[in-house]
Chain A
Amino acid sequence: MASLGVLVPARFLALTAHLVAVLTILWAREPHVLASLPLEFAPEEYARADTELLVALGTTVALLALELGGFFAGVSMFHPPQALLSATAHGGATLALGFFLFERWGCGAYWGVLGAGSVLPAATELLLLVVVLGCKRKRL
């Protein structure tokens, strides 16, 4: 299918860009943790906020790993609707994380980006994995 020539690299680029953005935030968490805390805070509060962001970022990396796994294994590489959804969601999430980085948003904003940009395409990817591997069907 001619569309795959565009969709596959687009999806790969969007996934990689999202991964790079997440790793960048992972290495420079402090401003975001501070942004989600009041002016004066206890070390425990800092640790809790840091853990919250770490969990959110870890979840994103895990979901990205799931998608990349499905993508490289060939389960969803030649599935245009999934490629379209995944490329759009991860492209949008990358843009949102650009804002997150430059505007120093707090941890709370990350969950929204996670929900729309990672959970949605990962859920459909999981569905595809179940259908293809579990039910032994070639296509959904």
Chain B
Amino acid sequence: MPLSRKVFKMKKLFLYSIVLFGCTLMSCGDDEVPVGTTSEVTLNFTANYGTNMLDSDTQTTHDFEEESTVRFTEFRFFISDVVFTTEEGTDETALIEIDEIDFSRSNMDAKYIRSVPTGKYSGIKFFIGVEAEFNNTKPEEYASEHPLANTASYWLAWNSYIHCKLEGFLDNGTANEIPFSYHTGSDDLLRSVTIPYNITLAADGSFDLDIMVDVEKILYKNDTYWNIEEFPATHNPSNPDDLNTANYIMDNLSEAFKIQ
């Protein structure tokens, strides 16, 4: 190859390099996250009853006390202010503002994919229910796609969103199944959940976090099952029995989560 042509080719290569470098600089504008500072996190909520998958759609029955069984027709609850925590406890990384998780159709309903800054986290924290800031609002204030727009999840008697709905039937061998419907609402019944878990997010990596809620733990505490037959519903906040039941349900629910 003649020298002049070689020189021309090198000049061309140099020019291309400049253009390429310029393009790279331009693509790192203020609006974009620099490559390598985030990791993709998948949060997946599932529901079990003990060691079995909860499947309210197929009318599956689960063992309850003695010879009786329960089956669930509806299980849904709100989560709000979901964050990753750090050991220092000062810096929280927001993941989900608010959503309603609904296991009425299938065991694996809620999957969230988030881009999270890399680093070390000490666990996950969230509220079960609708935080007061939102609980003072009403469904008609939201667009239909918003999780708070669902009128079926708002209850006038509580003047509140329904933090959790657990409905189904108890079969204790008598002629008819006994229906139960636990609806909990009001600011006092909001519960906080913190699950310690060491999480290290590497640059450009991905991380799956499976959070399982055990429905049996909602109805079982201190070696005793909840007396569904005597307390089958919680609809009226001014009724002491209803309020006691609602507290029982929410306390147990807040302790029923674990990372798998």
Chains A and B bind each other:
no
Using a CB–CB cutoff of 8 Å, the interface residues on chain A facing chain B are none
Using a CB–CB cutoff of 8 Å, the interface residues on chain B facing chain A are none
